[in-house]
Amino acid sequence: MRTILKLGKQEHRFIDRISELSGENVYSCYQCGRCSAGCPMAFEMDILPNQLIRLVQLGEEEALIASKTLFICASCFTCQSRCPKGINIANVAEAIRYLAEPKGKDHFGPDEVPAELADELP
C-alpha cells in the first residue's frame, strides 16, 4: 500500500466538509486509539475507528468510501464517551456515508431486510 501524501485544496475541502457535516473537529484527533480499543464492533471492521479518522486527516476520500467500517459502526457512541478529544466517530462516519450516498454506496438498504426479521425488528 502506498499513499502519496498531498494535502492540497481538494483534500482540505474534503476534511473541512467532513468537519462541517459532522460537527467534529477531525484535526484534533491525536491518534491515541482509544476509540478502537473500546469499539464493540471493531473486530468486524476493515479499518479501525482511529484509522477512519486518520484517513480523513490524510484526505483519503476514496479509501474511506470504500471501507466496510462505515456501515459496521453501530452508532453506539462508546468512542465518543471515552475519546480524550471528545470526537464523535459515529457522526464522522455518518458524514462520510452522506458524501458516499450519491456515489451509490449505501451498504444495506431496507428492502434487503429479511421478511421474517422485518416483522419483529423494532
Partner 1 sequence: MKLHYYPGCTLKEKTTNLDESTYAAMKMLGYELVEPENWTCCGAEFPLNEEKIVGLAAPARILRQVEMEGGDKVVTACAFCFNVLKQTHIALLNDPLKQKRINAYLKDDIRIDPVTKERTTDFPEYRGDVQVLHLLEFIQKEIGYEKVRSLIRRDLGNLRAAPYYGCRLLRPKGETGIDEPDDPSIFEEFLESIGIGVVDFPFKQECCGSYLSVSLPDAASEVSYRILRSAKLNGADMVVLSCPLCYYNLDRRQDRIREKFLEFTGMPVLFFTQILAWALGVEAEILGLDQHFFDPRPVLGITDKAEVAS
Partner 2 sequence: MNGNGKKKRIGVFVCHCGVNIAGVVDVERVAKALEGYSGVSFSTHYIYMCSEPGQNMILETIREEKLDSIIVAACSPTLHEKTFQSVIELAGLNPYQVEIANIREQDSWVHSDKEKATLKAIKIVKSMVEKVLQNESLEPIRVGVTRRALVIGAGISGIQSALDIADHGYEVLLVEKNPSIGGHMIQLSETFPTLDCSQCIMTPKMVEASRHPNIRILTYHEVESISGYVGNFKVKIRKKPRFVDPDKCTMCADCEDVCPQIVSDEFNMGLSFRKAIYLPFPQAVPGTYTLDIENCLGLLPIRCGKCKEVCEPDAINYDDQETVFEEEVGAVVVSTGYDLYDLNHLGEFGGEKYEDVINGLEFERILSASGPTGGEVRRPSDGKVPKNVVFIQCCGSRDPENHNPYCSKICCMYTSKHAMLYKHHVPDGNATVFYIDVRTGGKNFEEFYQRTIDEDQVLYVRGKVSKVYKEGDKIIVWGVDTLTGRKIEMEADLVVLAMSMVQTDGVNELLKKLRISSDANGWLSEAHPKLRPVESLNAGFYLAGCAHGPKDIPETVSQASAAVAKVGDLFAQEQLLHEPTVVPVDEDLCSGCGICVTICPYSARELDKEKGVVKVNEVLCEGCGACAAACPSGAAQQRNQTDDQIFSMVRAILRG
From the CB of 115, what's the least distance to ligand SF4, in Å? 27
What DSSP letter does each residue of 2-21 carry, written as one string? -------HHHHHHHHHHHHH
Restricting to residues 30-89, which ones interact with partner 1 according to CB under 8 A? Answer: 40-41, 43-44, 71-72, 74-78, 80-82, 88
From the CB of 119, what's the least distance to ligand SF4, in Å? 26
Q: How far is CA 55 from CA 10, 14, 29, 108, in A?
A: 14, 11, 11, 23
From the CB of 30, what's the least distance to partner 2, in Å? 7
From the CB of 24, what's the least distance to ligand SF4, in Å? 9
Closer of 48 and 99 to partner 2 (Cβ): 48
Restricting to residues 85-114, which ones interact with ligand SF4 according to CB under 6 A? Answer: 85, 87, 89-90
Which grid cell is 106?
449505501
Q: Which residue has the cell 421474517?
A: 116
Name which of 36, 38, 56, 58 is nearest 46 in CA terms.
Answer: 36
Q: How far does CA 71 lie from the centroid of its chain? A: 8
Given its phi and psi angles, is residue 117 left (phi above 0), alpha (psi -120 to 50 degrees) or beta? alpha
Using CB under 8 A as the binding rule, whether residue 35 contacts partner 2 is answered as yes
Residue ranges binding partner 1 (CB under 8 A): 20-23, 40-41, 43-44, 71-72, 74-78, 80-82, 88, 90-91, 94-95, 98, 107-108, 113-114, 117, 119-122
